[in-house]
Amino acid sequence: MSFFLYKPHVYGPEGVTTPDVIIDTVLKPKALDDQLVPVDQLTSQTYLQAREGSVVNAGFAQVAAGGGVILCPVMAISGGQTIFFRTAWRVEHHLKDAMKLSFGGEDGYIHAFSASPKTRCSAIVTLPRETKAPKDGGALRLEMSCSDAPVLKAVLNVSILPQANREDFDGGPAPRYSVGPTRKPVKHYI
C-alpha cells in the first residue's frame, strides 16, 4: 500500500487546523489526461528542481478529508511530479463554494475554474494549461481568488513563485569534514 502523507495547514471559518492526511488516490482532470497520478510522484516540497523548459500546470486539488473537502493549490510539473501545497482551505460538506473560483496570473493567462469531481477520493479537478516555467528566475505569480464563498468566508490568495536554482548564491557548499572539538581529548557529550 503506497500513500502520500499530506500535512496541510487548513484554513476555515474557525481558524487553522493542521491534520495529517493520507492520500492514496489522485486523478487528474479530463482536460489533462484523466489519468491516475502515482502517489509516489506527490510531494509538498516547496522547492523542487525542474528541468529548464518544464511545463507547469497549476490549479486546485480537492482532498477528501475530515468528512468534507479541502482545497489546496497544486502544481503539476511535466514529467510527473505534483506538488500539493501545504496551505489549504476547508470547504464544508459540499463543493458549491468551489464552483465559482476564478484563476488568473501575471503571465497573462486567465483560466476559468469549473469543478467536476471525479471521485470521492482526492482528485485534481481542473488545471489551467500550458503554463511555462520561467527561465532565469523570472517570477510567475498566480493569484487565485474566491469571490463567492459564504462558508469559507475568505479570499484565496496564493502566490506561486518559480525560482531558478541559480538564485542560490553561487558556489554551493563543498563537502567538508570536521573532527569536532579540536586539539584535545573530549570528555563531554553533546
Shortest separation between residue 10's beta carbon and another protein, angstroms: 10
3-state DSSP assignment of residue 91: strand
Q: In the complex with another protein, which residue's Cβ is closer, 114 or 163?
A: 163
Question: How many angstroms separate the CA atoms of 136 and 116, rounded?
Answer: 36
The Cα-based distances of 75 to 28, 53, 146, 148, 150 in angstroms read: 12, 15, 18, 24, 26
Shortest separation between residue 186's beta carbon and another protein, angstroms: 7
* Cβ atoms < 10 Å from Cβ of 154: 15
Question: How many angstroms separate the CA atoms of 31 and 6, rounded?
Answer: 25
Question: How many angstroms separate the CA atoms of 23 and 27, rounded?
Answer: 11
Shortest separation between residue 183's beta carbon and another protein, angstroms: 7
- Take residue 185 and report the three cell numbers written for it: 581529548
Shortest separation between residue 85's beta carbon and another protein, angstroms: 7
Q: For binding to another protein (CB under 8 A), which residues are involved?
A: 7, 9, 14-18, 44-47, 85-87, 159, 161, 163, 167-184, 186-190
Q: In the complex with another protein, which residue's Cβ is closer, 2 or 46?
A: 46
Q: In the complex with another protein, which residue's Cβ is closer, 147 or 178?
A: 178
* Cβ atoms < 10 Å from Cβ of 59: 26
Residue of 131, 20, 3, 123 lying closest to 66 (CA atoms):
20
Q: How far is CA 121 from the centre of its chain?
A: 17
Q: In the complex with another protein, which residue's Cβ is closer, 15 or 33?
A: 15
Shortest separation between residue 53's beta carbon and another protein, angstroms: 21
Q: In the complex with another protein, which residue's Cβ is closer, 100 or 141?
A: 141
